[in-house]
Amino acid sequence: MRQHLRSIAMASTALVALACILPTTAAFAQDASGPAAGEQDAGSDIVVTGSRFGSRSAAQSVVPIDTISADDLARGGRSEVQDMLKTSVPSFNTPRPSASGVGDFTTPPTLRGLSTGQLLLLVNGKRRHSTGDLSTSNGIGRGDVAYDFNAIPSMALSNVEILRDGASAQYGSDAIAGVINLTLDKSTGVKGKVSTGITEEGDGEYIDVGASVGLPVWNGGVIRATVQYQNHAATDRSEDDTRQQYFGRNAAGAPVLPSSFYGSGTGLTASAGALDAREATVDRRTSRQGNSGYEMKSIFLNAEIPMNDGGPTFYGFGGYSDLDGKTPFFFRRAGQDQTVRALHPDGYIPYGNIGLRNVSATGGLRGEDLAGFDWDVSTGYGKSLIDNATSNSNNVSYGLASPTKVYMGSTRYDQWTTNLDLTRKIDVGDEMPLNLAFGAEYREETYRLIAGEPASYASGGAVILDGPNAGKPAPVGFQPSPGINPLDEIFGKRNSKAVYAELEKELFGRLTLDAAVRHEDFSDFGGTTNYKLSSRLQVIDPVAIRGSFSTGFRAPHLAQIYFGNTVNDFINGAPVLRRNLPVNSAAAQLIGAEPLRPEKSKNISAGIVYDQGGLTITVDAYQIKLKDRIVQSSAFQGTALTNLLAANGVSGIGSASYITNAVDTTTRGIDVTLTDKFDLGSLGELSVLLAGNYNKTKFDRIAGTPDEIAALGITTALFDLTQQVRISDSQPRSKVLLNLNWTSGDFALGITNTYYGKVSAVAFTSLTPAQIAALTLGYDVTLVPVSATSANSQVIQHFKGKIITDVQVSYDFTPAIRLSAGVNNLLDIYPAQNLRSTVASVAAGTNGSDNAGTLPYNAISPFGFNGMSFFASAAFKF
């Protein structure tokens, strides 16, 4: 531990030394270079998101908006933008998935208790492209597509604005829960940083190095370039695998398949046959649970250049990012049929090797007085490229010829958006003009699935080579899940055309009214018209009330329409190959799938604002009604289903699911924020943020079992309890922030306290009363009967809320150099554990929900499960 801390100190000292030899006085220290390190830009409370009529303070906005400066984001030693945001905005959450492939690195964000796809991301007010990865993991964001926030270096940002209100009438599809706008820095000058850290357990080491240069150019313009490099090592909070690893031997000496129960390889519970001698010496740390390791390189440019005095201004921004990540999947034991024992005599952990790249470029011109209108024309292109490989694995059907690493396939997603915006102030005879805006947008999207190498999906013709099942058909495809088959390769595209308008008028110096409307027509499912009405009334000087009503929509993502693959699910603890069927495929329609429809929403928001003398208090209540919500269906399984799919060309599948408009929901909640600053005289200044969110989602409609599924004798609902709880209770219903930042001279101390409320997940879909009694004593659970005729129950486990405390101290070594260090999760808080496997539970016939004791924590934890960590950083700016 001391060695790691010395490394942190050495890295920080190195940057300080570098900064000290740079010219920190002379010509670089100009007013245009912006504030010194750690200072906050003046007017950082000014926002532009949510209106087409220029900037205003957040407190003056007609809808709730949070603005977080770059300096506020940098507090806490975090290197990922989403981690920065969730300690600043109470209604923003993101889990820390594990073993979810690409999802380990895009960490699906959510706002106001809704899903990832109901949040729109902008950069400099322009729509950002998403990834092309459809999440199929059993976690938050399942069946949805996320953005890659980290493709944009955090050092490239000036601030982040979060609009907490429906905005489809202004920005189009996806803006149902709200909008996040990443505003890029356009100051001149040079800044840089290096951060490093490690967990209290001695893993998760990281280094984060960045530099940014803003150069003044002609006519007062600026070009800023930012580069960033991150290298994060993995963390691991798994526990020993006590299961039987090798074949047992029966009384006749013949091999038998090993027991998969907790303790069966260590004598705690009964094994299958006599134990192999290797059980006593095998390394039982077989699994990995924690953050996945990755290396990230990114570059981003931002330019704004007036063409001439009074003429139009050119602007452009874009960049490139390249992430190489490695995520662990579930361990395959030596005695399983999924193992070629000649290649992996002691079993193996398959690793997903993820290549995640992003390319983007946006350019435009804006000017004034085009027939009396201010104007802005722009075009922007973005592309997500994801390449998947799996290493340290095998395809059993290839036998001894199986490779141990293969290319699994790729996804490509492109988005090209072109906009024309016109705004004008119209004199209507009073002191305040009528603000008018209208415009048009054209967008093209393409999506492509690319097949992997044959060994990733094909049968090599070999049988199981040895063991009790020697000679039987071998599992086909690379473990843990087959790659993309050429039959799954697809190219999908669409375009959309939109026209929109907005009016704003201030009356009597106290009342602001705003109305927006947008019509959008998609080439694949037709048109939709949405509108928004909002207002703000200054009741008395410090107090205002505000409210809005809007309709919204979300077009199905192309990945939700076209994506198909096969994954290895664990259903009631047993591995089952689940086929994700493209919703428009013949096989999906055979079992009840229907063409996707866009989601439709109705948003109501009402709030009150108090703003005086540095104290700002906002309270905003909201209701979001969602119709035809796009989700991934239940996993249907049964012999009849397997046989039906095999007869129609989809063989070897134990269960199947598809994307569907299965539910209608209503989400109600309230956001509260309080910010203030206290002048402590000679003791300095104290800034306070107290903020909270509470939300609750209920189901207005849940589709029943499709007729095609019921005809097979399967009674599973289209959207079963597991999926329902994932939507309604897997994110915190309540979250509270108390952030204190004290500054005195060159010294600063920050304390962040974040309360994450209770979350829940279905642990089991069917347990007997005896099994429940053995497993659940001392845990917080809810039992739901499997059916009216069964004594068995489904088990929902609740994980109680926790408070996470982070502390940071900073010191301005010089006016241009700042040193920081701190501790995140100061009290070393971990989430409640999964239902644990025990000798008693095994005696009752079941393991816990902890993968036979190896994975103690649930991936829905809103603050992860790494425990305490330490960080240090040094930054310079001149």
| Claim to verify: residue 155 and residue 262 sit in the same structural domain | no
- Sign of the Cα pseudo-torsion (108, 114, 115, 119, in order): negative
Residue 840: strand, helix, or coil: helix
Q: How far apart are CA 374 and CA 423, in angstroms?
A: 5
Dist CA 624 CA 288 (whole Å): 38
Query: Which tokens belong to 822?
Result: 């701190």
**pLDDT band, residue 54 (cuts 50/70/90):** low
Q: Is residue 751 part of a domain?
A: yes
Residue 642 is assigned to a structural domain of this protein: no
Dump strand ranges (E) for 156-202: 157-163, 178-184, 189-199
Going edge to edge, which strands form the sheet with 565-571?
565-571, 574-580, 655-657, 636-637
Pick the closest to residue 355 from 404, 318, 408 (CA basis): 408
Tens-place pLDDT, residues 163-179: 999 999 999 999 999 99
pLDDT-based confidence at residue 32 (cuts at 50, 70, 90): very low
**Amino acid 81: pLDDT:** 87
pLDDT at 403 exceeding the cut of 50: yes
Residues 326-348: tens digit of each pLDDT: 999 999 999 999 999 999 999 99
pLDDT at residue 394 is higher than 70: yes
User: Quick one: 175 and 278 in the same domain?
Assistant: no
Between strands 119-123 and 110-111, the pairing is unpaired
| Domain membership flag for residue 840 | no
Q: Are 18 and 817 in contact (CB under 8 A)?
A: no
Cα distance between residue 677 and residue 770, in whole Å: 58
Average pLDDT over residues 108-125: 93
Distance of CA 503 to the CA centre of its chain: 34
334 and 187 assigned to the same domain: yes
By residue count, the chain amounts to 878
* pLDDT score recorded for residue 570: 52
Per-residue pLDDT tens digits for 685-741: 999 999 999 999 999 999 999 999 999 999 889 999 999 999 999 999 999 999 999
Determine the pLDDT at residue 841. 97
Question: Is residue 6 over pLDDT 70?
Answer: no
Please count the structural domains in the chain: 2
Question: CA–CA separation, 186 vs 181, rounded Å?
Answer: 15
Q: In what order do the strands lie in the sheet with 781-785?
A: 759-767, 793-799, 781-785
Q: What gap in Å lies between CA 412 and CA 423, rounded to an integer?
A: 36
Check pLDDT > 50 for residue 43.
no
Residues 303 and 257 in one domain: no
Nearest by Cα to 473 from 459, 457, 456: 459
pLDDT of residue 575: 58
What integer pLDDT is reported at residue 99 of this predicted model? 76
Residue 529 has pLDDT above 60, yes or no: yes
- The pLDDT of 345-355, averaged and rounded, is 97
- The strand pair at 574-580 and 655-657 is best described as parallel
Residues 276 and 352 in one domain: no
- 188 found inside a domain: yes
Cβ-contact 650, 676 below 8 angstroms: no
Confidence of residue 24 (pLDDT cuts 50, 70, 90): very low
pLDDT at 114 over 60: yes
| One domain for residues 692 and 620 | yes
Instruction: Report which of 722, 679, 731 is spatially closest to residue 861, judged by C-alpha positions.
Output: 731
Same domain, yes or no: 278 and 420: no
In this prediction the pTM is 0.91
Identify whether residues 199 and 259 lie together within a single domain.
Answer: no
Shared domain check, 437 and 422: yes
Determine, yes or no, domain membership for 795: no
Paired with 305 in beta bridges are 314
The pLDDT score that the predictor gives to residue 779 is 97
Inside any domain, residue 34: yes
Higher per-residue confidence, 190 vs 574: 190
Predicted local confidence at residue 122, as pLDDT: 96
The backbone torsions φ and ψ at residue 494, rounded to the nearest 5 degrees and listed phi first, read -160, 170
Among residues 284, 309, 339, the one where a domain terminates is 284
pLDDT confidence tier of residue 574, bands split at 50, 70 and 90: low
- Whether residue 36 is predicted with pLDDT greater than 60 in this model: the reply is no
- Write the pLDDT tens digit of every residue in 771-789: 999 999 999 999 999 999 9
Average pLDDT, the chain: 90
Q: How far apart are CA 836 and CA 779, in angstroms?
A: 10
Both 274 and 300 in a single domain? no
For residues 120 and 81, state if they share a domain.
yes
The reply to whether 253 and 340 lie within a common domain is: no
Does the pLDDT value for residue 27 go beyond 50? no
The pLDDT value given to residue 4: 44
Query: What's the token pair of residue 19?
Result: 């900064």
Section 342-369 average pLDDT: 96
Any idea of the CA torsion for 770, 776, 781, 783, to the nearest 10 degrees?
0
pLDDT value of residue 9: 40
What are the DSSP calls for 44-102, one per residue?
A: TTEE-TT-SS--EEGGG-SS-EEEEEHHHHHTTS--SHHHHHTTT-TTEE----SS-TT
Over range 138-156, report the average pLDDT: 90
| pLDDT over 70 at 7, yes or no | no
Is the separation of the CB atoms in 186 and 302 below 8 Å? yes
Residue type at 544?
Answer: A
For residue 49, is it within any domain? yes
Distance (Å, whole) CA 345 – CA 727 = 41
Give me the mean pLDDT over the 8-19 stretch. Answer: 39
- Once rounded to an integer, what is the mean pLDDT over residues 42-48? 57
Query: In which band, very low, low, confident or very high, does the pLDDT at 55 lie, cut at 50, 70 and 90?
Result: low
pLDDT of residue 1: 45
Last residue within a domain, chosen from 259, 284, 309 = 284
Using alpha carbons only, how large is the chain's radius of gyration in Å? 28
When pLDDT is averaged across residues 604-614 and rounded to a whole number, the result is: 94
Identify the band that residue 576 occupies on the pLDDT scale cut at 50, 70 and 90: low
Evaluate whether residue 417 is within a structural domain: yes
| Domain that includes residue 129, residue range | 2-241+285-563+594-632+658-758+800-825+863-877
Extended strands (E) in 541-658: 543-554, 565-571, 574-580, 599-612, 615-632, 636-637, 655-657
pLDDT at 50: 67
Convert the pLDDT of each residue in 790-840 to its tens digit.
999 999 999 999 999 999 999 999 999 999 999 999 999 999 999 999 999
pLDDT at 18 over 80: no
Instruction: Give the whole-angstrom CA distance, residue 408 versus residue 387.
Output: 8
Type of residue numbered 249: R
Pick from 75-79, 427-431, 476-480: least confident: 75-79
CB–CB of 868/4 below 8 Å?
A: no
**Is residue 875 scored above 70 in pLDDT?**
yes
Residue 760: is its pLDDT beyond 90?
Answer: yes
